[in-house]
Amino acid sequence: MIRKEFLHVWRDPRTLYLAIGMPAVLTLLFGYAITMDIVHIPFGVLDQDHTAQSRELVSHFGQTRYFTLVAATQDEQEMGRLLERGKTKLFLVIPPGYAKKLARGQASPVQVLVDGSDSNQGVVALGYARAIAQAATRDLFLEGAKRAGLAGLEQRMPPLEPRMVALFNPELKSQVFVVPGLIAVIMMMMGTMLTALTVSREWERGTMEQLLVTPARPLEIVLGKTAPYFALGLLEMVSVILVGMVFFQVPFRGSHLLVLGFSSLFLLTALGVGLLISITARNQQLATQLSFLVSMLPSMILSGFMFPVASMPRIIQAITVVVPAKYFITALRGILLKGNGLPDLWVEGLALLLFAAIITFLCARRFRTRLG
C-alpha cells in the first residue's frame, strides 16, 4: 500500500508541486514579505526653529533605518497634503525656540504627527519616534548644558515626551485599518475564484462544449457568466463597509462615487483574472489552486493589507507593483479614512484602469468559441 502511494505521488506532478513547490514559495513569501519589523518609514519635517540642534534632531531620526527623510517643508498646508496623500507616514514639527529652551534647561516640546490610517505602522512609528526623540533631545540637552557649564543636570531633566497626534484614526484602531483590505481580499476571492470555478465547472460537465456549438457569441457567454459575480462583488463591498461603519466606527470621509468607481475597476480585473484562469484550467481543482496562488495570496500578503510594503525587501517591493490589490487598498483607505479625492489618487486610479484594460484585452483574445 505504501509503495503504491509513493508511486502515485511521484507520478502526479501536481502533488509534487504542491508538496515541494508551494511550501518553498510560501516560505520565501512569508519570510521576506511578512515582516513584523517596520522600517524605512517615510517621514517629513517642518522645522520652524532652524537651529543646529533642530537639524540634529532631524538627523537622529533620519539616520536610523526606521525612518527615511523624504520631505522638508515650511508650509503647514503642504505638510497636511503630504500626510493625506501618504507620501509621508509621519511628520516631525519642531516649533520655534526649540533649541533655546533646551539650552535653558526647559521643557522643549516637539510635535509628531502620525498617519493613523495605517494603524499597525502608526503604532510602531509612534513608538520609534518617542524613543528617538527622547534619546536625541536628551543628548542635545546634555550637550547644551555642558556648553553652558551646567553640570549635574541629569536628575533635573525636564520630561521629554514629544506630543503625539495620530491623524485620521486617533485611536489607532486596527479594525479601521483592516476593513479596506478585507474588502479587497473578499472581492478578489469572489471575483476571481468563483468566476474561475463556474466556467471550469461547465467545461467539466460538457455544457461549455454545447454552448460553443450554439450561435452564442463569446461576449454573450462571458457577460452571462460574470455579471452575477460583478453584482455580488459590489454588494459585498457595500455590506462590508456598512458592517465596518456600524460596528467598528470605520469612517467614510470621501466620495461614494469614487469608491464605486475604484471598486468597479478592481472587480473587473478580478473577474478577468478568473476568466483567464478558467480558460487555462479546464477542471475545478486546478482552477481553485491557480486562483488561490495568483489572486488570493498576493492580495493578502503583497498588497499592504497586513504588512507594509515599504518594510519589504526591494525585490519583493518590485513585485508588488503588479499586484492590483495594492492600489485598490491604498485608494480605499485614502477615500474612507482620509477623504482623498481623485487628484490625490490619480496614480492608483491609472494603475487600476491599466490593469482592467490589459486583463480585458487578454480575455477577449483568448476566449474564443473554438477549441483548437
Tell me how crowded residue 252 is: count the other CB atoms within 10 A of its CB. Answer: 15
Residue among 63 and 207 whose Cβ is closer to other proteins: 207
Would you say the C-alpha torsion 260, 172, 33, 87 has a positive or negative sign? positive
* Cα–Cα distances in angstroms (integers) from residue 227 to residues 98, 189, 218, 260, in the given order: 61, 15, 14, 16
> What is the smallest separation between the CB atom of 363 and other proteins, expressed in angstroms?
19
> What is the smallest separation between the CB atom of 199 and other proteins, expressed in angstroms?
14
> What is the smallest separation between the CB atom of 216 and other proteins, expressed in angstroms?
5
On the 0-12 / 13-18 / 19+ scale of CB atoms within 10 A, 134 is middle
Residue among 169 and 195 whose Cβ is closer to other proteins: 195
Task: Judge whether 352 and 266 are in contact, CB under 8 Å.
Answer: yes
> What is the smallest separation between the CB atom of 212 and other proteins, expressed in angstroms?
5
Show the site string, 198-227: x = touches other proteins by CB under 8 A, - = not. Answer: -------xxx-xxxxxxxx-----------
> What is the smallest separation between the CB atom of 208 and other proteins, expressed in angstroms?
9
Q: Which stretch binds other proteins (CB under 8 A): 94-102, 151-159, 325-333, 364-372?
A: 364-372
Which residues sit opposite 69 in a β-bridge?
43
> What is the smallest separation between the CB atom of 122 and other proteins, expressed in angstroms?
48
Short-list 235, 205, 227, 342, CA closest to 274: 227
Diameter over CA atoms, the chain: 95
Residue among 23 and 224 whose Cβ is closer to other proteins: 224
Residue among 214 and 239 whose Cβ is closer to other proteins: 214
Q: Which stretch binds other proteins (CB under 8 A): 6-14, 50-58, 159-167, 363-371?
A: 363-371
Show the site string, 155-194: x = touches other proteins by CB under 8 A, - = not. Answer: ----------------------------------------
Distance CA 269, CA 352 (A): 8
Task: Judge whether 111 and 165 are in contact, CB under 8 Å.
Answer: yes
Residue among 63 and 210 whose Cβ is closer to other proteins: 210
Distance CA 133, CA 113 (A): 13
By CB under 8 A, the residues from 270 to 329 that bind other proteins are none
What residues have CB less than 8 Å from 320, skipping those under 6 apart?
302, 303, 304, 309, 312, 326
Residue among 256 and 368 whose Cβ is closer to other proteins: 368
Helices assigned H by DSSP within 113-250 = 119-147, 174-188, 195-205, 207-213, 218-248
Query: End-to-end CA distance of the chain, in Å?
Result: 40
> What is the smallest separation between the CB atom of 370 and other proteins, expressed in angstroms?
6
**370 touching other proteins, by CB under 8 A:** yes
The one-character DSSP state at 97 is T
> What is the smallest separation between the CB atom of 220 and other proteins, expressed in angstroms?
9
Place of cell 508511486: 7
**106 touching other proteins, by CB under 8 A:** no
Using CB under 8 A, count the residues that bind other proteins: 15
**36 touching other proteins, by CB under 8 A:** no
Binding site for other proteins (CB under 8 A): 205-207, 209-216, 369-372
